[in-house]
Structure 1
Amino acid sequence: MIGLATIGTSMITGRLIDAVAAVDGIEVTTVFSRDRARGERYAREHGIAHVADDLAALLGSPAVDAVYLASPNGAHCAQARAALAAGRHVLVEKPAVATAAEWDGIVELARARGVVLLEAMRNVYDPGFEALRALLRRIGTPRRASLGYSQRSARYDRVLAGEHVNIFDPALAGGAAYDLGVYCIAAMVELFGAPERVLGASVALATGADGAGAALAVYPGLVVDLSYSKITASDRWNEVQGERGTLAFDHVARPRAARVTLLDGTTTAHDLPGAQNNLVYEVERFVALVNGADAAADHARTRETLRVVEAVKAAPAL
């Protein structure tokens, strides 16, 4: 049984705890928070037995085989390095780190220590995503794709009021590209591989973070546009246009509905498989890696995703 400690007490951590409860071979043993009282409240809410407020002590605990990092993005790299150096497996919430170079460094450390490192990019492990891959074969050679994720943050009003908010702090790797754009980029990399070139632009906020953005990824014979925002909202579907038809699907982070329209006008609707809480699939992959599966493809996807994020963020702000 893999004993997992969670670092971070946000909503996503609660969803991860629920997902772990549905997977064999792993259990959450400890909640970590620098604020002991907050950690104790969180542990009670989620039925977790142990609480820690000292990271070094946590990483030395015999009850902890692995850690899940859901702290502010900018803290991921240092915390991952500490956990890996202590011989603990690491499941790190997306974005794993801020740059491909940081990722390469912790991948090398994980290999040296003989432990597992995995980015918790939930959509690429979702069975609905695998179903999309099968449907793509019906539409012929892909030539155009459009992927988007726009969801206005409930905390944006605090930014407008002049408050400091971690997810909109560029020093903590906050902003729309890191928070939502990565879902689109990871999906693109999983479906089509790494692009040859990336063009982009973003809407800058007073905090210095990007509130929204768009990018164009160029492949041989294929162009993909990406859009994402934390300051506006959209419920538009995603689309891949092939030479024989078009595949549309509802959500880039949790695909559950799709339709295929062929050139003759024939349209078929498809319900896609998957749990309501699709973090369960990244947990299953993590357990498989701890049990000996090869993480090379997982690591490569994360690296290419971060390279695209870096290219997008290097583009001029509007």
Structure 2
Amino acid sequence: MKLGIIGSGTIVQEFLPELVKLEGVEIVAIQGVKDRMEQVWNLCRLYGFPNAVSDFDELCKTGIDTVYIAVPNDLHFSYCRKALEKGLNVIVEKPIASNWYEAKLLQQKADENKVFLFEAITTLYLPNYLKIKEWLPRIGTIKIIESHYSQYSRRYDAFCKGVVLPAFDPAKAGGALMDLNLYNLHFVMGLFGLPEEYKYYANIEKNIDTSGTLVLKYPSFLAVCTAAKDCKGLSGSVIQGTNGFIRTTYPPNLIGQVLLELNDGTIETFDDGSASLRLIPEFKAFIKAIEENDDQFCYQQLRKSLDVSEIQTKSRREAGIDFPADFLRWE
């Protein structure tokens, strides 16, 4: 994989030290905005990347075959679309797009150009999460699931003072459902698929959800997904069944140690330590899929991303939260 990175923000700086160690990936270039090119050049010098560019067409001329897109939410669709039309494989930070309509169009573009499209959602690839999937039959019939991710945002202070940054800007596809609650959704739906019914109960300020609870109804159980960027609270997930329960230690983007406790007193724990390197398991999976041309795996993961996007879009709009992209019809 010859990788070009679009964006130079926090998430990119967080995982570059580990990404450069991975086999099967060569980072060829980083693209940044013109007023942050000094930061881009510094990253390239630090890690020995040969190209720092400020233009997408320049990026495409550097010999890359895959792009990793880490820009504000509202820009995901346009960058993904351009890259897919250029015949590049795409790894895009969550959420895959501003709404389900955009996500569907991106899926079509990937199919048309016979390239890979992945949403970078750490949850699905963490070994501790895969252990939960392995343990599920042991806890009997599922009855209740709770998944919580509350993290007070320093941007909320600015928001309260009238400074609206992308994390809380409906024009930038912000809000708690598109950010933290997305991980809760992937946690639940990655195990159980689409619910029969769902409804979002949101705390809305200035036309955006600063926190909220999404209730998912399945044939035999309820799942409650709660996320908050306006207050601090406990984070983690619990899956309760007739024979016992499974509990996580950390929020659903990290999972952390998982614990199985059965009604007969059996207790087991598992932790492979991947929470501290949360971005690496997903990138290993992406590299492997692209190297092996495993389009079936790509389709399977992309289906999960589209399902989550559909739930987000419909429940968000029913709660009265609209984005500019909701009123566009892309060709």
TM-score tier (shorter): over 0.9
Cα gap change, 1:19/1:189 in structure 2, threshold over 3 Å: closer, same or farther? Answer: farther
- Percent identity over paired residues: 25
With 209-218 and 161-170 compared, the bigger mean Cα shift is at 161-170
- 1:111-150, CA deviations, whole angstroms, 9 ceiling, x for partnerless residues? 2112111000011011110011122222111111001111
Question: How far is the alpha carbon of 1:165 from its aligned partner?
Answer: 0.6
Following superposition, which runs of at least 4 residues in structure 1 exceed 4 angstroms of deviation? none
Amino acid in structure 1 at the alignment position of 2:42:
R
Question: How far is the alpha carbon of 1:37 from its aligned partner?
Answer: 2.5
Question: How far is the alpha carbon of 1:52 from its aligned partner?
Answer: 0.4
1:228 aligns with 227
1:57 aligns with 58
SS at match of 1:288: helix
Residue pair 2:96, 2:103 contacting (<8 A) in 1 also: yes
Q: Distance in 1 between matches of 2:116 and 2:246?
A: 35
Cα gap change, 1:170/1:17 in structure 2, threshold over 3 Å: closer, same or farther? Answer: same
Structure 2 unaligned residues grouped into runs of 5+: 322-331
Q: Distance in 1 between matches of 2:320 and 2:88?
A: 39
Q: Does 1:14 align with 2:9?
A: no
Question: How far is the alpha carbon of 1:312 from its aligned partner?
Answer: 2.6
Q: Distance in 2 between matches of 1:194 and 1:61?
A: 40
Amino acid in structure 2 at the alignment position of 1:201:
Y
Question: How far is the alpha carbon of 1:274 from its aligned partner?
Answer: 4.0
Instruction: Pick one of 301, 320, 330 that aligns with 1:298.
Output: 301
Residue pair 1:131, 1:272 contacting (<8 A) in 2 also: no
Amino acid in structure 1 at the alignment position of 2:86:
A
SS at match of 2:119: strand
Residue pair 2:153, 2:229 contacting (<8 A) in 1 also: yes
SS at match of 2:74: helix
SS at match of 1:155: helix
Residue pair 1:139, 1:262 contacting (<8 A) in 2 also: yes
Amino acid in structure 1 at the alignment position of 2:314:
A
When normalised by structure 2's length, the TM-score is 0.90
SS at match of 1:239: strand
Q: Distance in 2 between matches of 1:42 and 1:204?
A: 38
2:205 aligns with 205
Residue pair 2:260, 2:267 contacting (<8 A) in 1 also: yes
Q: Does 1:214 align with 2:217?
A: no
Cα gap change, 1:306/1:19 in structure 2, threshold over 3 Å: closer, same or farther? Answer: farther
Question: How far is the alpha carbon of 1:229 from its aligned partner?
Answer: 0.9
1:44 aligns with 45
1:134 aligns with 134
Q: Does 1:23 align with 2:26?
A: no
With 296-305 and 248-257 compared, the bigger mean Cα shift is at 248-257
Q: Distance in 1 between matches of 2:262 and 2:130?
A: 20
Residue pair 2:128, 2:258 contacting (<8 A) in 1 also: no
Q: Distance in 2 between matches of 1:41 and 1:156?
A: 30
Q: Distance in 1 between matches of 2:191 and 2:92?
A: 22
Count residues with an aligned counterpart: 314
1:187 aligns with 187
When normalised by structure 1's length, the TM-score is 0.93
2:124 aligns with 124
